[in-house]
Amino acid sequence: MFKLILFDFDGTLAAIGSKSKAIINRLSEKYHFGDMTFDDFWKMRDLNLKDVLKKLNIPMWKLPFLVADYKNWMQEYIQDEELTHLSWKRIIGELKAQVGRLGILTSNSTENAGIFLKLHDIADFDFIYSASMFGKHRSLIKIINREKILPREVLYIGDEIRDVEACRRAGVPVMSVTWGINSKEALLETAPDYCVDSPEEIFSALGMSLGDAYAAC
């Protein structure tokens, strides 16, 4: 049994919806992606982030500025963002009851994630931690040390190739979800420890029960 389950935010809990499309289009205009729209961006789901940046001719040194704009603009839209699945509130509550400790580790801001959770009446997370785009492995190690647990006692749930890569570097088991940024095919090529197509599958993948309270809802 895991002692801590960590969640990614964008694409895993928060849907990549119409408001995200607006942000991508604004980034495209500012950083000169050419005529790329969100739909064009979505077609690159099989690529990791570094390959996406290369394809768009965006140098790595520009990435911090791009991410900062994304976080700032997200504040304008966060109140309209939806959960990726309506069942998340119940499932997160059941995971909290069975595991005990839940957290969010995101490349977005803690403020944006906190606003989103409050809007959707989800209060089961013990903490929210923000990491740099390519620094999740370092943040994972910091969290593990702070929690005084072993890497194998943590599970990270995310939707991107870089989530799997970060967990490998930190020695943390990882569960990939197929409804987010990267495609299922691309995720499976990275060989995550688990891969699920819906939040409900988290329990069966881990050999856990949804619980009588959940089943009765």
Range of 57's domain? Answer: 18-80
The pLDDT, as a whole number, for residue 216 is: 37
Measuring CA to CA, how many Å separate 197 from each of 20, 123, 159, 170, 204?
Answer: 22, 24, 11, 25, 12
If one counts every other C-beta atom within 10 angstroms of the C-beta of residue 50, the result is: 15
The pLDDT, as a whole number, for residue 37 is: 63
> Could you give the CA distance from residue 154 to residue 174 in angstroms, rounded to a whole number?
9
Digit-coded pLDDT (tens) for 159-209: 999 999 999 999 999 999 999 889 999 999 999 999 999 999 999 999 998
CA angle 213, 208, 177 (to 5 degrees): 100
Question: In this structure, are 93 and 74 located in the same domain?
Answer: no
For the chain, how many structural domains are there in total? Answer: 2
pLDDT at 83 over 80: yes
Question: In this structure, are 88 and 150 located in the same domain?
Answer: yes
Residue whose structure tokens are 């994972």? 140
Last residue of a domain, one of 60, 80, 100: 80
Question: In this structure, are 151 and 166 located in the same domain?
Answer: yes
- Phi, psi angle pair for 159, to nearest 5°: -115, 5
Digit-coded pLDDT (tens) for 115-172: 999 999 999 999 999 998 778 999 999 999 999 999 999 999 999 999 999 999 999 9
The pLDDT, as a whole number, for residue 212 is: 45
Residue whose structure tokens are 């969010």? 104
Last residue of a domain, one of 61, 80, 99: 80
Digit-coded pLDDT (tens) for 87-104: 999 999 999 999 999 999
Please report, rounded to a whole number, the percentage of residues in the chain having pLDDT higher than 90.
56
The pLDDT, as a whole number, for residue 215 is: 44
> Could you give the CA distance from residue 105 to residue 128 in angstroms, rounded to a whole number?
6
CA-atom Rg of the chain in angstroms: 17
Residue that wins the pLDDT comparison between 156 and 74: 156
Q: Residue 114 belongs to a domain with what CATH number?
A: 3.40.50.1000
Let me know how long the chain is: 217
The pLDDT, as a whole number, for residue 213 is: 41
Question: In this structure, are 99 and 171 located in the same domain?
Answer: yes
The pLDDT, as a whole number, for residue 146 is: 97
Confidence tier at 34 by pLDDT (50, 70, 90): low
